[in-house]
């Protein structure tokens, strides 16, 4: 199995219509006053949703077939992601920072990684470092 990131030039549109699933928390469920989100001052559900929509639109404009999959904090998250992965074969799955970087979401992150591993074993995993570098994260792997 090749685990080397792809060397797609930054401005290439040669994506072959590869599919990407962006997994994140449903912004309306996030309490931005919670101390876990202190690193994101001024963040709101509307800003997060706008960023997610912009990421999806940017990936689609680059020629990818990008889809959003928004979850709760764990009550139904595994089932939601599992169902989505059963609907479509994805070449890449990106799990967003709201799931990955907030300590209280660690178990959710672990569960979602295992759901992806079970239902999309051939999909590459990628992780952005900020909302504006999602495309770069995807391009590293597909």
The predicted model scores a pTM of 0.87
- Measured CA to CA, the distance from residue 44 to residue 39 in angstroms comes to 13
pLDDT along the chain (142 residues), means of 10: 45 73 96 88 91 94 97 97 97 94 95 98 93 90 95
41's CB contacts (< 8 A; 6+ apart) are none
Per-residue confidence (pLDDT) for residue 14, from 0 to 100: 65
CATH of domain 19-141: 3.40.50
Q: Domain coordinates of the chain in residue numbers?
A: 19-141
Choose among 110, 79, 83: nearest CA to 95: 110
């Amino acid at each position: 199995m090749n685990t080397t990131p792809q060397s797609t030039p930054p401005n290439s549109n040669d994506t072959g219509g590869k599919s990407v699933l962006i997994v994140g928390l449903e912004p309306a469920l996030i309490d931005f006053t919670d101390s876990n989100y202190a690193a994101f001052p001024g963040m709101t559900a509307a800003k997060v949703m706008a960023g997610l929509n912009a990421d999806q639109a940017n990936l689609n404009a680059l020629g990818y077939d990008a889809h959003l999959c928004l979850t709760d904090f764990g009550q139904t998250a595994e089932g939601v992601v599992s169902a989505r992965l059963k609907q479509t074969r994805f070449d890449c799955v990106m799990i967003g920072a709201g799931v990955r970087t907030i300590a209280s979401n660690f178990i959710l992150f672990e569960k979602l990684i295992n759901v992806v591993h079970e239902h999309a074993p051939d999909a590459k995993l990628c992780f952005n470092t900020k909302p504006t570098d999602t495309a770069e994260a995807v391009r590293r792997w597909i």
